[in-house]
Amino acid sequence: MKRLTTRVAIVGAGPGGLLLSHLLQLCGVDSIVLERRSRAHVEKRVRAGLLEGGTVDFLREAGLADRLDREGLVHEGFVFRFGARAHRMPFTELTGRTVHMYGQQELVKDLIRARTEAGARLWFDVPDVELRGLETDTPAVRCTVAGEPVEIACDFVAGCDGFHGVSRRSVPPGALTTYERAYPYAWLGVLAQAPPAAEELIYAVHGRGFALHSMRSPAVSRLYLQVAAGESVENWPDERIWKELHTRLDIDGAPELAEGPVLEKSCVALRGFVTEPMSHGRLFLAGDAAHIVPPTAAKGLNLAVADIKVLAAAFREFYETGDRGPLDGYSAACLPGVWQAQEFSDWMSRLLHRPAEGRVFHERLQHARLEAVVHSPAAARNFAENYVGLARERTPARGGRP
């Protein structure tokens, strides 16, 4: 078995793992990144594309935002459509913050290029990853690289391999507490070669269910429909998709939705998930390995970057001074913001989606809440601060569980 050494072994080459590797190199800390999927697969995975202003600022500070600044679409508001009317939410006017629309796969491409140009040890197609000795001072990662068995001795392991990855599953039963919620509906997501019908996002509340009009570029639209939990893509031919999108999104006086070839479509279950703590021994979990939020408020990628910001600073402190305090405080620093994002994502999901039951009563409550958000300055400001990430940034860290 080939034996290698590194300071931090990073499992997962999504945005979190790649960003952590980049930040560690900036402070002189060696890492190895292992990804079980191919590079082509990782670069094509379509995920949420809304980046909060704080996320964009951090990527700029890290020297990773050149293409994002050239090609990202800057938004200063979005539109609610309900009751056959359109209501604009001017979140930049309310908070001073913008958001960028920039596909997660595009950020991943930027990160992979930066890591490759820096000569980083970034390995794809790595199956059979096994974590060992997490509760000792000498953890190790065993895997297969180019058909050859490899053992990587390291100081720490960063689990950035998502909800279904090996990292969290390597923790002994009972060492972590998990909190979960499954929502009674799902999203049918569509990527279409069609120009967006509007320059800003449209959140549409309709009697047939929620719909979202988003975009990836001036020529490519990203569209979502609320569907039943467990719904199959096979039940949604393109003609049915466009018909339902028109029904839920079109209102009198608004630009009509443009149709085009459907490039991709998939059904995504909505769920909330948090693990506490976000570490065990020498293992630190980040991003979807530690928490999942429903996509309604587009917090997933932003939460992953927030985790990595804290984790990278803690590693830097440890290697510069030997102080493990920030690493030991990693969960306490991250979890309040995670739960704040969970709360807002849950609230926004209930605000926008048609319920599975109790429909009439819920519709009246939903309408009252929407009217408050668009007509009350205090409610609008509170909503905007949550939407752009300001509320989460102001959430203080805590020492211990509630």
Give the list of residues 6+ apart from residue 267 with CB closer than 8 angstroms, or none. 186, 187, 188, 189, 227, 231, 232, 233
Q: Is 160:35 a contact under the CB 8 Å cutoff?
A: no
Q: Which amino acid is at 213?
A: H
Question: Which residue has tokens 């300055």?
Answer: 377
The dihedral over CA atoms of 382, 387, 388, 394, expressed in degrees to the nearest 10, equals 50
Evaluated on CA atoms 49, 17, 175, 320, the torsion sign reads negative
User: How many helices (H) and strands (E) are present in the chain, helices listed first?
Assistant: 14, 21
The angle formed by the CA atoms of residues 98, 83 and 193, to the nearest 5 degrees, is 55
31, 120 contact by CB (below 8 A)? yes
Dihedrals φ, ψ of 401, to 5°?
Answer: -85, 155
Residues in Cβ contact with 359 at an 8 Å cutoff, skipping those fewer than 6 apart: none
CB neighbour class for 347 (10 Å; exposed up to 12, middle 13-18, buried from 19): middle
- Assigned token pair, 314: 């803690």
What is the maximal distance between C-alpha atoms in the chain? 68
What residues form DSSP beta bridges with 275? 178
**Cis status, amide bond into 277, omega within 30 of 0:** yes
Beta bridge partners of 136: none
Q: Are strands 130-132 and 50-52 parallel, antiparallel or unpaired?
A: unpaired
Catalytic residues: 75, 203, 295, 299, 387
Report the interhelical angle of 330-352 vs 300-321 (nearest 10°). 170
Those residues with Cβ within 8 angstroms of residue 159's Cβ, 6 or more apart along the chain or in another chain: 11, 12, 165, 166, 167, 168, 170, 283, 284, 285, 286, 289, 290
In whole angstroms, how far apart are CA 316 and each of 9, 23, 228, 313, 384? 15, 9, 46, 5, 33
